[in-house]
Amino acid sequence: MTRTPARPFRSREWFAAPGRLDMAALYLERFMNYGITPRELTSGRPIIGIAQSGSDLTPCNRIHLETVKRVKAGIEAAGGIPMEFPTHPIFENCRRPTAAIDRNLAYLGLVEILNGYPIDAVVLTTGCDKTTPSAIMAASTVDIPAIVLSGGPMLDGWHDGDLVGSGTVIWRSRRKLAAGEITEEEFLEAATASAPSAGHCNTMGTASTMNAIAEGLGMSLPGCAAIPAPYRERGQIAYETGKRIVEMAYDDLRPSKILTRQSFLNAIALITAIGGSSNAHPHLHAMARHADIELKPSDWMEFGYDLPLLVDVQPAGRFLGERFHRAGGVPAVLSELIAAGKVDGNVATVTGRTLGENVANRFATDREVIRAYDQPLKEQAGFLVLSGNLFDVAIMKTSVIGPDFRARYLSRPGHEGCFEGRAIVFDGSDDYHHRIDDPALDIDENCILVIRGAGVIGWPGSAEVTNMQPPAALLQRGIQSLPTIGDGRQSGTSDSPSILNASPESAVGGGLAWLCTGDTIRIDLNHGRCDMLVDDAEIARRKGEGIPPVPASQTPWEEIYREKVGQLGEGGVLDLALKYRRTSETTPRH
Ligand code: FES
Ligand code: MG
């Protein structure tokens, strides 16, 4: 059965361009050296790219070396021709100076591949944190039919009869180690127990959050995000994804027909309900901007802040990925939000049906893990957007504010939600590690730890360092966390209620650059304010002393990145890239 595509396949320009047999021959011949026949390539069937993000350097996504076999089977069964190619590796935990600098590099690489090769549609394999936003950003720029296939989280980690979640266990165990409650050996045992199988982080860290968002945006098949990597359903949804992308190629169902402002507002609501990563903020802005959709800081307050936390998964809750999947995963959360009128189910998705149709009646089967909308784990659990004289925009993930922290800092009678403290300022994480236990700093529970030089330009790339732990002496006294502020990010697996992603960062003259140790900072969560109580004349005097120095670039990309990147509050994208939209509508020249 031959179908006529809604838009002529762009691969025809390579393999069947009229009057250019010489060029077609050149394009065709080398693909044959692994067995593809010229008849296949000239048959008019769509060429389906598979953007392979898994490798030994991206172990979180390595399951895709297996899933692509099922993707290819699905593509072939539906009449497409699969072509797998690698993307730039992004491994969150291992890449120095930070994996964040590679989101835009992987984006650029994928744009060039999708634009410059005879690819009609693409399966985006995702997993580890930035692999998802970089892929969606690129698919938006090129605008060919695209579908996300998550690799899925690892199985749940267990240690000593307790659930241990990747990342989260590190932050919790390092506090116990510093307080002398566990040995180094026990620390390592717990940490490694959190990673029992193939897959990405099993907590609601950035990886699970971004894959949930991809599903919430309508960019993957329903249920795809949460299936654990080793489960049989992972291979099965890989097959279905392969079949579906061929249909999408014929229907010309591109990201521009799926991604709307409403779908991004839906994603903001979803992030609150799942207790999603603070890194979702810059990545959502980045994806929206590449899709030519305006998101404002106030959207997070209007469509996310007042919503409840429904999902009891670490770091905001107790459980891990397997329980979340069995409870119903993302479709069950979306069902709650649609029924409550907080997500608009009328948006388009890769299935060709609406989001609401995709998840109809897929309510949770385990109410301990996914709560009903009116019986949440926490009310008002979204990101609080703050501003003040220290920055224009920063966020705080309120779902991880624990009872201890609330009682100590936010419950002074008559001053609920407000806190004043003495600033202890660190220039980057080396400075923090060198000095945090220095008795001369005299750090007590009335201090606010501040880290700067950790933003997109200062680091470069923006580092996950804002969740600084208190000095050992305080931990030993049972003080688990101090208020922290920074122009860096923090891991999505962290349970620290930090004020982070401060933009503009100190390296470009943001307010943090002019703060000194000993200054008083006033945090007012009721009004979303964060200010240094330093008079303007003194701030002006400090400005005369210049911006705190940042380390020199060590690679060409670091230099290019620093020159072209925008601030974290706007997604940290390469602004020059935003003028390139729907590049697939123009065929690249021979
Ligand atoms: Fe890759 Fe968490 S480190 S998913
Ligand atoms: Mg992370």
Lookup: tokens for 339? 């029924």
- pLDDT score of 412: 87
Buried b (16+ CB within 10 A) or exposed e, 355-378: bbebbeebbbeeeebbbebeebbb
**C-beta atoms surrounding 535 within 10 Å:** 9
Going from the Cα of 489 to the center of ligand 2, the distance in angstroms, rounded, reads 10
Which H/E stretch holds residue 483? none
Residue with the nearest Cα to atom 2 of ligand 1?
Answer: 201
Q: Are strands 484-486 and 447-452 parallel, antiparallel or unpaired?
A: parallel
CB contact at 8 A, 126 and 133: no
Going from the Cα of 33 to the center of ligand 1, the distance in angstroms, rounded, reads 36
CB-count exposure of residue 223 (10 Å: 0-12, 13-18, 19+)? buried
Which H/E stretch holds residue 253? none
| CA 53 distance to own-chain centroid | 15
CB contact at 8 A, 441 and 424: yes
Q: So what's the ipTM on this one? A: 0.91
Atom of ligand 1 nearest to the CA of 93: 3
Residue 244 to residue 251: CA distance in whole angstroms: 11
Q: How many residues does the chain have?
A: 590
Atom of ligand 1 nearest to the CA of 205: 2
**Helix locations, 351-459, DSSP H:** 355-358, 403-409, 428-435
Residue 403 to residue 507: CA distance in whole angstroms: 35
Atom of ligand 1 nearest to the CA of 61: 1
Which of 94, 129, 202, 209 is the best mutation target for the ligand 1 pocket, counting ligand atoms within 8 Å of the beta carbon and taking the most? 129
Atom of ligand 1 nearest to the CA of 127: 4
CB contact at 8 A, 223 and 187: no
- pLDDT score of 559: 98
CB-count exposure of residue 581 (10 Å: 0-12, 13-18, 19+)? middle
Atom of ligand 1 nearest to the CA of 60: 1
Q: Give SS3 for 414.
A: coil
Q: CA of 61: how far to CAs of 111, 137, 231, 322, 501, in Å?
A: 20, 18, 15, 17, 26
Q: Which of 150, 5, 169 is CA-nearest to residue 93? A: 169
Q: Which of 79, 80, 51 is CA-nearest to residue 67? A: 51
Looking at all shown ligands, the one closest to residue 152's CA atom is 1
Looking at all shown ligands, the one closest to residue 199's CA atom is 1
Which H/E stretch holds residue 240? helix 232-251
Residue with the nearest Cα to atom 1 of ligand 1?
Answer: 128
Going from the Cα of 99 to the center of ligand 2, the distance in angstroms, rounded, reads 9
- pLDDT score of 480: 87
- pLDDT score of 1: 52
**Residue 348 dihedral angles phi and psi, to the nearest 5°:** -75, 155
Going from the Cα of 208 to the center of ligand 1, the distance in angstroms, rounded, reads 9
Q: CB under 6 Å to ligand 1: residues?
A: 60, 92-93, 128-129, 166, 200-201, 205, 207
Residue 590 to residue 582: CA distance in whole angstroms: 19
Bin 309: left if φ > 0, else alpha if -120 < ψ < 50, else beta.
Answer: beta
- pLDDT score of 20: 81
Which of 155, 200, 209, 494 is the best mutation target for the ligand 1 pocket, counting ligand atoms within 8 Å of the beta carbon and taking the most? 200
Which of 93, 211, 320 is the best mutation target for the ligand 1 pocket, counting ligand atoms within 8 Å of the beta carbon and taking the most? 93
Q: Which of 389, 397, 329, 378 is CA-nearest to residue 514? A: 389
Strands (E), 117-180: 121-126, 146-150, 157-159, 162-164
Which of 166, 169, 464, 489 is the best mutation target for the ligand 1 pocket, counting ligand atoms within 8 Å of the beta carbon and taking the most? 166
Atom of ligand 1 nearest to the CA of 92: 3
Output the CA torsion sign for 504, 506, 509, 515. Answer: positive
Going from the Cα of 547 to the center of ligand 2, the distance in angstroms, rounded, reads 29
**Whole-model pTM?**
0.97
DSSP string, 78-131: TT-EEEEEE-----TTT-SS-TTHHHHHHHHHHHHHHHHS--SEEEEEE-STTH
Going from the Cα of 167 to the center of ligand 2, the distance in angstroms, rounded, reads 7
Tens-digit pLDDT string for the chain (590 aa): 568 999 999 999 999 877 888 888 888 888 888 889 988 999 999 999 999 999 999 999 999 999 999 999 999 999 999 999 999 999 999 999 999 999 999 999 999 999 999 999 999 999 999 999 999 999 999 999 999 999 999 999 999 999 999 999 998 898 899 889 999 999 999 999 999 999 999 999 999 999 999 999 999 999 999 999 999 999 999 999 999 999 999 999 999 999 999 999 999 999 999 999 999 999 999 999 999 999 999 999 999 999 999 999 999 999 999 999 999 999 999 999 999 999 999 999 999 999 999 999 899 999 999 999 999 999 999 999 999 999 999 999 988 888 888 888 888 888 899 999 999 999 999 999 999 999 999 999 999 999 999 999 999 999 999 999 999 999 999 898 999 999 999 998 888 889 999 999 999 999 999 999 999 999 999 999 999 999 999 999 999 999 999 999 999 999 999 999 999 999 999 999 999 999 999 988 88
- pLDDT score of 23: 84
Going from the Cα of 28 to the center of ligand 2, the distance in angstroms, rounded, reads 42
